[in-house]
Chains A and B, each alone.
Chain A
């Protein structure tokens, strides 16, 4: 091996603790960057899918938790009785849910049984599955990720306790695991079954959280947006009408703007990594002033010692970058973590291109960290350095 490479390698392992800690200081922000981008990508994917569905969401103008009367559905449908522009109106009520003695939360929505198939074609439900769903009041269509996580399959009878009224355990019959659905997490049950349970335990019924209005085209969506608002805003339960993407975006960011905060977090941690690596390289330079002075005395130029510092810094930061980007990539691609589902984001998709970006950031950290020590090493006067040491 050439002596220069031996020298660089030996310098990298000269102080293993310092090198390891610097690698970790770079790896951690790179990991945060990679995961943040994956989360933001997941949210954008989710929102893009929502935008493609040509659906309007009608919610209460008072607040997102205020429910609307069931009667609003008929009034909305009256805008297009022929269903040429308005394909379907589906009332939705969120019930969340949990399985007894299992801490994992479920994402379950109770929907209008007759409108679900038309309003949510992106669930990928087949006509046969729809028939099974229509026949059974206790039918539930499971997200495939949820089914896999809990080991549920078609034909199973499962019991879920809603996170909202009526709270009491409800038994469902699995009619499909929605293998072709865009959303692998959300489960869908029939709202008529929920209404019965609510009435049985004497909770107010005939209310929905939102209406999803499936439109025929973008032009229909724009027109119905205005028409629905005009129609219902004079009622006792005024509404807010948004396209699904805007609604979902508002829903995701209402309390905490996750994408924005993740971007800030990633930027701050990268900045911290630059400072940590720069501190290491400065210590490295100070520890080796006599060595650099000797190299210069032997005839090595300022450029050589400067490049030594830069290459060492780039090497350490690149190693940190490989760990920070490669770790999540391997974990979320080739281990059981790949099957873990997250609400909204669904699956963490660590793209190789993002790993490439992360490595470039790691190299950028390395370059910036070595900037001052490299310039100092280049400009260092041999006589002054030797005089301080002899």
Chain B
């Protein structure tokens, strides 16, 4: 399955604390093509993670519309969002969030529990996903037996094992050293170029941002500016 396009129109999101409204996104418009690798940047509190959560169906907008492929997320209830998420979105978190008591292979297999498939097919998918991230020799290791980079690769394998349309990554290299970060970002590029996944990645690191095709800068809940990355601009030139 290849990626899905994403369209956000006049998206607003506010949180409430002690009856006080705290606006996070304020009429945001954004369109992402199917198979595009977009990087979200901006200062803390600018709404990057909130935007990621809205696109991933983890949260609902206060106003406006969010469309991912054919799905209009603002019209879905929590149960529908949960079901949709399991089939269309892969998440990669900064802190990996692997289940510590399960092996790498079992962690990757977890999302497949939501699918009806034979154990053979499930095993095949897990092996393929771990092959893609270069960890087939670590499949029986537990998270505490892996390095940070390896843990994040397992998390990526878990995100792609269901063959989702969209991969959402929230600072996936935020906890890694430079060399390991580069490996993870190259892997993201591979997922984008080889498997045509639509990727939306949040990062604070300008160097990491250069791995995407387009950088979207948010500030105070609105789209501040957009730019093509050097690689993309060079390709156009």
> Are B95 and A390 touching (Cβ within 8 A)?
yes
A389 contacts chain B at the CB level, 8 A cutoff? yes
> Are B93 and A390 touching (Cβ within 8 A)?
yes
> Are A299 and B97 touching (Cβ within 8 A)?
no
> Are B82 and A383 touching (Cβ within 8 A)?
no
Contact partner of A382 among B58, B102, B110, B170, CB < 8 A?
Answer: B58
A3 contacts chain B at the CB level, 8 A cutoff? yes
> Are A383 and B114 touching (Cβ within 8 A)?
no
B32-60 interface with A by 8 A CB criterion: 49, 53, 56, 58-59
Contact partner of A390 among B87, B94, B99, B158, CB < 8 A?
Answer: B94
Nearest CB on A from B12, distance (A)? 16
Nearest CB on B from A123, distance (A)? 63
Give the dominant DSSP class at A's interface. helix
> Are A298 and B91 touching (Cβ within 8 A)?
yes
> Are B114 and A300 touching (Cβ within 8 A)?
yes
- Binary flags per residue of B102-134, CB closer than 8 Å to A gives 1, else 0: 100010011101100000000000000000000
Among A5-13, A40-48, A70-78, A274-282, the stretch that binds chain B is: A5-13
Contact partner of A11 among B94, B101, B111, CB < 8 A?
Answer: B101
A154 contacts chain B at the CB level, 8 A cutoff? no
B136 contacts chain A at the CB level, 8 A cutoff? no
> Are B102 and A299 touching (Cβ within 8 A)?
no
A4 contacts chain B at the CB level, 8 A cutoff? yes
Give every chain B residue within 8 A of A298 (Cβ-Cβ): 85-86, 91, 110-111, 114, 158
A276-300 interface with B by 8 A CB criterion: 290-291, 293-300
B218-235 interface with A by 8 A CB criterion: none
Question: For chains A and B in complex, what number of residue pairs have CB atoms within 8 angstroms?
Answer: 73
A262 contacts chain B at the CB level, 8 A cutoff? no
Give every chain B residue within 8 A of A302 (Cβ-Cβ): 78, 82
Most buried by B among A3, A14, A297, A389: A297
- How far is B82's CA from A383's CA once the two chains are assembled, in angstroms? 13
A386 contacts chain B at the CB level, 8 A cutoff? yes
Interface residues on A, range: 20 to 34
Interface size on B, residues (CB 8 A): 30
Most buried by A among B59, B82, B83: B82
- How far is B25's CA from A187's CA once the two chains are assembled, in angstroms? 90
> Are B101 and A301 touching (Cβ within 8 A)?
no
Contact partner of B101 among A10, A295, A300, A387, CB < 8 A?
Answer: A10
Given A6-B106, A11-B101, A14-B101, A390 and B85 touching (CB < 8 A)? no
- Binary flags per residue of A294-334, CB closer than 8 Å to B gives 1, else 0: 11111111100000000000000000000000000000000
> Are B102 and A10 touching (Cβ within 8 A)?
yes
B179 contacts chain A at the CB level, 8 A cutoff? no
- How far is B101's CA from A340's CA once the two chains are assembled, in angstroms? 46
- How far is B100's CA from A298's CA once the two chains are assembled, in angstroms? 16
- How far is B105's CA from A109's CA once the two chains are assembled, in angstroms? 74
Give every chain B residue within 8 A of A389 (Cβ-Cβ): 95
> Are A383 and B170 touching (Cβ within 8 A)?
no
> Are B99 and A291 touching (Cβ within 8 A)?
yes
Give every chain B residue within 8 A of A7 (Cβ-Cβ): 99, 101-102, 106
Q: A382 — nearest CB in chain B belongs to which residue?
A: B58
Give every chain A residue within 8 A of B97 (Cβ-Cβ): 290-291, 293-294
Nearest CB on A from B67, distance (A)? 19
> Are B101 and A383 touching (Cβ within 8 A)?
no
Give every chain B residue within 8 A of A299 (Cβ-Cβ): 82-83, 85-87, 111, 114
Give every chain A residue within 8 A of B170 (Cβ-Cβ): 390
Nearest CB on B from A106, distance (A)? 58
Contact partner of B109 among A3, A293, A386, A390, CB < 8 A?
Answer: A3
Q: A293 — nearest CB in chain B belongs to which residue?
A: B97
- How far is B113's CA from A390's CA once the two chains are assembled, in angstroms? 26
Given A297-B58, A297-B91, A386-B93, A6 and B82 touching (CB < 8 A)? no
Give every chain A residue within 8 A of B19 (Cβ-Cβ): none
- Binary flags per residue of B199-218, CB closer than 8 Å to A gives 1, else 0: 00000000000000000000
27 contacts between A and B (CB under 8 A): A3-B102, A6-B102, A6-B106, A7-B101, A7-B102, A296-B82, A298-B85, A298-B158, A299-B82, A299-B83, A299-B87, A299-B111, A300-B86, A301-B79, A301-B82, A302-B78, A382-B53, A383-B53, A383-B58, A383-B59, A386-B53, A386-B58, A386-B93, A390-B49, A390-B93, A390-B94, A390-B95
Top 7 nearest A-B pairs (CB, nearest first) are: A299-B86, A10-B101, A294-B97, A299-B85, A383-B59, A298-B111, A382-B58
